[in-house]
Amino acid sequence: MNDIQENGTRQGRGGVFGDPGQIAPHVEKGWRDDFIIELRLLGVAGDRIGDALVTVDSHVAESGEGALEAFGEPVPYAREIARSSGKEPSWSINSWTVLGNVAGLVGMLAAVRALTGWLEGGPLAITVGDGVGLLLLLALMGAVLRWPTPLIRVAVEHRVAVSLLTPVVLIGAFVGVFLLLRDTWFEVGVLPVALVAVVLMATSVVAAWIDAPPDGDQIVAPGQSPRPGGGARIAGALILPVLTLLLLGLTWGVHLLG
């Protein structure tokens, strides 16, 4: 443990904190990664994860045993650590989480529809598909917010299947809704929809900034302070606006090709 702390001091804030592998260099990467992921899913704080990693690494280095041999499978051991911590989860869903995600996703949809209306040179026709698509989007987001840990666990344990099937299913569902349910409910000007999109996206950024932990809940070794978390906090707040810009670019490109 002393070697790790001294190494972290020599490297300063930019060293050990950016790579959990440097906290536990003697632990097999596969075991270490599964251990960290499970603790994250269970909401264990970053400093507690760092402390557990140092403990495992110290034992492995001194005994010559592998982590699997000494502590067993990483997931059950991580759950044991989480139960013994006796602390509240380091993250939770609150009103800011809900507000940020709802505002961001609805703002994203509004921005794309505003651009579509502007490119078509007329008022924006709000269709039945728009309403159903919005409900599907909110239902999907509600499921993620209601059952975050089980859904993330499925994504982690079945990475390939989820990464391949999820885009196909989601895109197919939304495209089908928009193409099949094209009856117009009412028409509205492009400018009001664009202004609503901007306000909602700004609300999303503010809510995400407030909701994010100031230090990013980084994994740190005992006795060390986390790096300034401003960069990660800004990146988290700008995820939905950046995705919106990408969708707007894609929409523009499709229009030009058409």
pLDDT at 209: 87
What are the structure tokens assigned to 141, written together? 């987001």
Confidence class of residue 86 from pLDDT cuts 50, 70 and 90? Answer: low
Coil, helix or strand at residue 187: strand
Record the pTM.
0.66
Type of residue at 226: P
| 3-state helix/strand/coil string of 73-107 | CHHHHHHHHHHHHCCCCCCCCCHHHHHHHHHHHHH
Residues sharing a CB contact under 8 Å with residue 167, sequence separation 6 or more, in sequence order:
none
pLDDT of residue 4: 42
**pLDDT higher than 70, residue 38:** yes
Give the lowest-confidence range in 12-21, 34-43, 134-143, 154-163. Answer: 12-21
Residue with tokens 């999820």: 166
Evaluate if residue 189 carries a pLDDT over 50.
yes
For residue 33, give every residue at least 6 positions away whose Cβ sits within 8 Å of its Cβ, in sequence order, or none: none
pLDDT digits (tens, 9 = 90+) for 191-223: 999 999 999 999 999 998 888 776 666 777 776
Average pLDDT over residues 86-96: 65
Q: Which amino acid is at 54?
A: V
Q: What percentage of residues in the chain have a pLDDT greater than 90?
A: 27
Q: What is the pLDDT of residue 228?
A: 55
pLDDT above 50 (res 224): yes
Higher local confidence (pLDDT), 126 or 225: 126
Distance, in Å, from the CA atom of 87 to the CA atom of 41, rounded to the nearest integer, reads: 14
Residue 63: other Cβ atoms inside 10 A: 10
